[in-house]
Structure 1
Amino acid sequence: MTMSIPLKSSPSTRSASATSATSKAATSIPHAKALKAAVCIAVTLVIYILPVPDGLTAQGMHMLAIFLGTILGLILQPLPTSAVAIIGLTVAMLTGTMDPKTAAFSGLGSASIWLIVAAFFIAQGFVKTGLGRRIALVFISLLGKSSLGISYGLTAADLLLAPATPSNTARLGGILFPIITSISDVQESTPESDESRRRIGAFLCITANNVNAITSSMFITAMAAGPVVAQLASDSDAPISWGTWALAAIVPGLLCLIVIPALVYLIYPPSVRHVPSAQTDAKAELKSLGRLSVKEWIMLLTFAAMLVLWATGQVTGINATTVAFLGVAVLLVTDIITWKEMAANSSAWSTLIFFGILVGMATPLNELGVTEWAGAFIADSIEGWSWPVVLVLLTVCYFLLHYMFASELAQVVAIYTLFLSVAVAAGAPPMATALLLGCTSGLIGAMTHYASGPSALIYGAGYVKTAEFLRVGLVCGVVTVAIYLTVGLGWWKIIGLW
């Protein structure tokens, strides 16, 4: 009997095979990108040349086409995010849809966007001084037995800060994000590779982002859009006090905060789940670090002052972005960070470009009547239905329409009053409706990578890929909205809000 022994391939054979595989991959990648680009162009052209429906102007229709094409490009990514945004803006200017002297670059001057940029620089200060690592080690020493435990620790911190932080971007970007990056750094998890980012950094980032959306829904003062919602509701004869909102949201909100970290852990798990030695190692390293250095003290005091100013913004009248840049200025003067380091922060500047352009492109949709037209179309479609059905459908539509917006505040200003009036006209209780749409205005902040300032910041950090961001954001958003529609409305019935 003879035996057949498989021959090992020679180095030259393996090299040739690898070269062939690389060549095929290199060929397939441009083809895939070209196909994605063709889809984006085709969708834009089809909508652009469609007959203009009643209630819309030609300019509004063209703006809608370019915006949807750009959003599709951000999802499919035939090119990097900032490149897609620049191309979309260029098309809008070339077609005369946006005036380059007025509208085209208006988004780049948004205070909220510059707050995001400042948050990146503040995070640099935490990392460079070592204070972020020290804080991370404290978290790990207390909750470091598991990645899930750490995520719940960050959740508790967000909830504690939310009532006193009117900017959810400042809360996540300026306070929690530096801690997340430092924890990730300790666990050797960086955006440099898939294996590294998925160790723990990606999980903590996307969990914190979805948690931030929940805490934003729980208090009037937890996001910039909250006071606007309260004012619009009051103008519609459904006044909401701070206490009423907090009482209404406490039960569904806490349930969401319990469910979402565990849900993300299930559908987007970190590769490092159990870290049994982390607590011991963290305690040992904290002991070796000794007392805080001078620069750590400066960073800590600057951070504490910023937190106080953010919390008292409604009293002092100091804008959250002003506070953030005050902190950056202190860090520059004290040499905690340098201009050279700021200039090299590509994540900050990329986020400024892509998010600023999107905000600038989204604004004309409201000014040209596109969002009002869409709301009227929805109202006509549900006329004559029972109010519970109308309320559920309007809430779901309100949630899904955020794919067309680049901030919670923009959507609130554009369609909150319209949706509230349609639901009330159908017989829905005014207070419950005003609260449900108000809370949903917070929940929408994590559904896409351009949905809000915190989302743009988390996406810009590079830990989470676009497809992952959209998938987890949609699943978490659907779950949280469902909790508010069921547990929330049930709780509001018990406390007499309807």
Structure 2
Amino acid sequence: MGLAKVKYKGFIAPLIIGLLIWFTAPVRPAGVSVAAWHMMAIFIATIAACITQPLPIAAVTLIGFTVMVLTKLVPMDDALTAFSNSSSWLIAMAFMLARGIIKTGLGHRIALYLIKAFGKKTLGLAYAVGGIDLITAPATPSNTARAGGIVYPLVESLAKTFGSEPNDDSRKKIGAFLTFSEFNSNIITSAMFMTALAPNLVIVALAKTMKIHITWLGWFTASVVPCLLLFILVPFVIYKMYPPEIKETPNAREWADKSLREMGPMKVSEKIMAGVFILTIVLWMMSNTLGIEASFVAFLAISLLLIFGVLTTKDLLSETGAWNVLIWLSILVFMAGELSEMGLIKWLSKSIASGLHGMNWVAVLAILMIIYFYAHYLFASATAHVTALYAPFVGVAVSAGAPVMLAAMMLAFCSSIMASTTHYANGPASILASSGYVKQGEWWRMSFVLGLLYLVVFLTVAPLWMKVIGMW
């Protein structure tokens, strides 16, 4: 067996960046310790490697972890506590929960029922497609798996049923519209639920290092109004901006009916999966009231699925996405926590805040959101973006006088909607943009317009709603 492929050129930029920062410690700013400066060098080099990807993200973060211990910045025993991070385990277990939804066929069945109910018109189909994403989002932290594994196969089948093929003019019949609608529905559902997007759990963990505690129900309560508003508006805006040639789709119901007949009656495994799924959502919503950790709820759900035979040990061990996230999320959050403990985040926040001195906190928060949003043109990874910028930006907003929870949640929402920038902005963008239904120029042009809509709603409706419910 040969050697695994390593893109060694991808190490060059991270190494140069890391070494430059490391060896400029003698001229570091006053108030920053040598240890903090060296930790920043390793952290930024690791983030850079997450972008250049000489190896998968789990591998480069593991290398960064090793360098951190090797340079004696953190003792090994202390470093290993990184893997006790509850947010990392929560998302790993949620990945496995999502595997059960896909494995049993429950996600596919839900999708077919929605198409049957709303599939008379093309616009109705767009809402049905979004509904699939909405229902599965709370327990599917991989938005890529949600879009690529559950929703897009149905979109593609529907499109081809109406003679809409990718990479030719027939794409505009219905395929292009549904594909782009699903992408934006995925963005909205990712912002709505704490457990609908991997970087959301990074945010929760980073916020915790800043003594900001975001719960599952708290996140949902803050997001529900702006997200539902966008969920209603966006498909209609796309319908007007990028109209499908086919407006009526009576065949969609027939197709869904036929597919449901082929699936047969609901299997026992689907019923158990549905019961565990509902129980999990209810317990996540009540976790604060009941005094239980959201991560424990996820472990309970997986234990039940193992006991009833819905999932096997082999399923868990082969869920590489879960173990991948557990490694990189644990390490990145630990590094960010060390930077905070060493005082670097506080120094950075104060430094940026001094440049905005005298400005009203409302203006500062709005400027930070806009910068944070459009900075995503420079990132192909939401994880790298969030890990690098979230904590400093929240710190700046709070230093300017912004209410802590408002600043934390506004930038958290921005971490989802910033995907509406490029065709490489996140996993779903890469999958759906490469399908051949939407041309790259169309993608960028329409995404720019919708990006403005997202910003307007989250800069106006979200803070007003959070004020009404007493979050600030």
Instruction: Report the TM-score, using the length of structure 2 for normalisation.
Output: 0.68
Confirm or deny: 8 A CA contact 1:116 1:173 kept in the other structure.
Answer: yes
> Which residue is equivalent to 2:285?
311
Matches for 1:43-442 after TM superposition, within 5 Å:
43-50=17-24, 51-103=27-79, 105-143=80-118, 152-153=127-128, 155=130, 170-173=138-141, 181-186=149-154, 207=184, 209-215=186-192, 252-258=226-232, 277-385=251-359, 389-396=363-370, 416=394, 419-423=397-401, 436-442=406-412
* 1:249 CA displacement: 6.9
Confirm or deny: 8 A CA contact 1:302 1:327 kept in the other structure.
Answer: yes
Instruction: Report the TM-score, using the length of structure 1 for normalisation.
Output: 0.65
Alignment gaps of 5+ in structure 1: 1-28, 162-168, 190-194, 218-222, 236-241, 425-432, 450-457
**CA 1:254–1:383: 2 relative to 1, 3 Å:** same
* 1:485 CA displacement: 3.1
Confirm or deny: 8 A CA contact 2:112 2:260 kept in the other structure.
Answer: yes
In structure 2, C-alpha distance between the alignment counterparts of 1:84 and 1:202, rounded to whole Å: 33
Confirm or deny: 8 A CA contact 1:74 1:84 kept in the other structure.
Answer: yes
Confirm or deny: 8 A CA contact 2:116 2:256 kept in the other structure.
Answer: yes
* 1:145 CA displacement: 7.3
**CA 1:160–1:61: 2 relative to 1, 3 Å:** same
* 1:157 CA displacement: 7.2
Query: Match for 1:485 among 459, 462, 467?
Result: 459
Confirm or deny: 8 A CA contact 2:50 2:60 kept in the other structure.
Answer: yes
Confirm or deny: 8 A CA contact 1:121 1:342 kept in the other structure.
Answer: yes
Counterpart secondary structure, 2:401: helix
In structure 1, C-alpha distance between the alignment counterparts of 2:122 and 2:89, rounded to whole Å: 31
State the AA in 1 paired with 2:401.
Answer: A
State the AA in 2 paired with 1:86.
Answer: L
Confirm or deny: 8 A CA contact 2:212 2:405 kept in the other structure.
Answer: no
- 1:446 to 2:425 alignment: no
* 1:364 CA displacement: 0.8
Alignment gaps of 5+ in structure 2: 158-165, 195-199, 420-425, 434-439
**CA 1:125–1:435: 2 relative to 1, 3 Å:** closer
Deviations 1:290-341 (A, max 9, x none): 3222222222222222222222212222222212221211211122121122
Confirm or deny: 8 A CA contact 2:133 2:151 kept in the other structure.
Answer: no
**Bigger shift: 249-258 or 285-294?**
249-258
In structure 2, C-alpha distance between the alignment counterparts of 1:434 and 1:94, rounded to whole Å: 36
* 1:349 CA displacement: 1.6
**CA 1:36–1:267: 2 relative to 1, 3 Å:** farther
Matches for 1:457-476 after TM superposition, within 5 Å:
none
Deviations 1:256-313 (A, max 9, x none): 44566688999999xxx99875432221121343322222222222222222222221
State the AA in 2 paired with 1:74.
Answer: C
Confirm or deny: 8 A CA contact 1:132 1:178 kept in the other structure.
Answer: no
**Bigger shift: 408-417 or 305-314?**
408-417
State the AA in 2 paired with 1:333.
Answer: I
State the AA in 1 paired with 2:66.
Answer: T
Confirm or deny: 8 A CA contact 2:273 2:305 kept in the other structure.
Answer: yes
Confirm or deny: 8 A CA contact 2:11 2:54 kept in the other structure.
Answer: yes
Confirm or deny: 8 A CA contact 2:90 2:298 kept in the other structure.
Answer: yes
Counterpart secondary structure, 2:271: helix
* 1:480 CA displacement: 3.1
* 1:407 CA displacement: 10
Deviations 1:448-489 (A, max 9, x none): 89xxxxxxxx85999589xx9xx99x9677763444335667
**CA 1:203–1:406: 2 relative to 1, 3 Å:** same
Counterpart secondary structure, 1:384: coil
> Which residue is equivalent to 2:423?
none
**CA 1:312–1:96: 2 relative to 1, 3 Å:** same
* 1:142 CA displacement: 3.2
In structure 1, C-alpha distance between the alignment counterparts of 2:142 and 2:20, rounded to whole Å: 42
Confirm or deny: 8 A CA contact 2:133 2:186 kept in the other structure.
Answer: no
* 1:83 CA displacement: 1.6
In structure 1, C-alpha distance between the alignment counterparts of 2:133 and 2:290, rounded to whole Å: 23
* 1:159 CA displacement: 7.1
**CA 1:111–1:206: 2 relative to 1, 3 Å:** farther
**CA 1:92–1:335: 2 relative to 1, 3 Å:** same
State the AA in 2 paired with 1:214.
Answer: A
Counterpart secondary structure, 2:78: coil
State the AA in 2 paired with 1:352.
Answer: L
Confirm or deny: 8 A CA contact 2:226 2:458 kept in the other structure.
Answer: yes
